[in-house]
Amino acid sequence: MNRPIGIFDSGVGGLTVAAAIRKFLPNESFVYFGDTKHSPYGDKSDETIRNYSEEITRFLISQNCKAIVIACNTASALAYNYLVENHPDIPIINVVDPVVAHVGSKINNKVGIIATRATTKSDIYRKKLRRLNPKLHVAAAATPLLVTIVEEGFVNTKVSAGAIEAYLGVKKFSDVTTVILGCTHFPLLQKEIESFFGGRAEVVDSPELVAHHLKLQLQKAGLLSQETEANYHFYVSEKTDAFARTAKMFFGADIKLEEKTLRVNGF
């Protein structure tokens, strides 16, 4: 099954997941769609996010993708069930469940979650974690400025350090033992966040967990690639310097990047 994997996100954040997939599944090709025109998803309505996600999924299926990875926490929270129902014949992976399985297995854990407004409002992490382990203490906060900081290239600057201090230096996060980065943009800030906590909290590497979960699902379905050379193709709904810069950082200067306009309810 040498067809590509389809991956999508609202922008550059999903590239952290794509990079992890390349690392742990080096034989797998993929098609990536970054919906940069409508980024961020965190301030969009539930219906809008589902519509965007559905149209992107249709596009990826048209590219002969054998599985879909929703490399966006907001879309995972609000569109995953909708997509699974609409596309029962293709494996669809979200970025929430692998993290919940990892964190929920820990006893007497105090969990801090940072995410977009939409993901935080959905309360998906708290609900799923409590279902798995009712004893977990969970604190969550919307941190939308961190998305903008990543998109605009202000990682490892005074701007990012100040925002991390403002969001995480509050009482409810003072005694957490695990931090969930509930947005795929945030692994680009992981080292700064780890430094802020000074080693007293595990900052979960969600892209690696997602890549491992994807590998298991492909194995189960008999869909692992037998090719020895993988190809990567990137599409965006609007070309931006931030996306090109971040994609080249992960995948080199000779990436295949195309602009693709999709149309659905305002696309």
End position of a domain, from candidates 206, 224, 249: 206
| 44 and 32 together in one domain | yes
Give the per-residue pLDDT at 17. Answer: 97
| 101 and 202 together in one domain | yes
Residue 264 belongs to a domain:
no
| 101 and 193 together in one domain | yes
| 110 and 179 together in one domain | yes
Query: What is the spatial distance between Cα 6 and Cα 33, in angstroms, rounded to a whole number?
Result: 8
Give the per-residue pLDDT at 263. Answer: 73
DSSP states along 140-163: EEE-HHHHHHHHTT-TTSHHHHHH
Indicate which CATH number applies to the domain containing 136: 3.40.50.1860
154 forms bridges with which residues in the sheet?
Answer: none
Give the residue ranges of DSSP H helices in the chain: 15-24, 46-62, 73-86, 97-104, 117-122, 124-132, 144-151, 158-168, 190-197, 206-221, 241-251
| 142 and 202 together in one domain | yes
Q: Where does residue 19 fall: left (phi above 0), alpha (psi -120 to 50 degrees), or beta otherwise?
A: alpha
| 84 and 105 together in one domain | no
End position of a domain, from candidates 162, 181, 206: 206
Q: Quote the DSSP letter at residue 228.
A: S
User: Cβ distance 152 to 40 under 8 Å?
Assistant: no
- The pTM is what? 0.92
Mean pLDDT by 10 residues, the chain (267 residues): 92 94 96 94 93 97 98 96 97 97 83 95 95 91 94 93 97 95 94 96 94 97 90 94 88 85 65
10 Å Cβ neighbour count for 1? 13
The closest alpha carbon to 10, from 103, 119, 121, 88, belongs to 119
Binding site feature residues for substrate: 9-10, 41-42, 73-74, 184-185
Give the per-residue pLDDT at 1. Answer: 65
Give the per-residue pLDDT at 266. Answer: 47
Judging by DSSP bridges, how do beta strands 137-142 and 202-203 pair with one another? unpaired
158 to 154, 165, 174: CA distances (angstroms): 8, 10, 22
Domain that includes residue 190, residue range: 97-206
Count of positions (residues) in the chain: 267
Residues with a catalytic annotation lie at: 72, 183
The closest alpha carbon to 184, from 47, 25, 1, 11, belongs to 11
| 147 and 165 together in one domain | yes
Helix axes 15-24, 206-221, angle to 10 degrees: 50
Give the per-residue pLDDT at 108. Answer: 67
| 155 and 136 together in one domain | yes
The rounded Cα 228 to chain-centroid distance in angstroms is: 26
| 146 and 235 together in one domain | no
| 89 and 186 together in one domain | no
| 163 and 110 together in one domain | yes
| 91 and 216 together in one domain | yes
Binding site feature residues: 9-10, 41-42, 73-74, 184-185
Q: Quote the DSSP letter at residue 4.
A: P
28 residue type, one letter: E
User: Cβ distance 36 to 56 under 8 Å?
Assistant: no
How many domains does the chain fold into? Answer: 2
202 forms bridges with which residues in the sheet?
Answer: 178
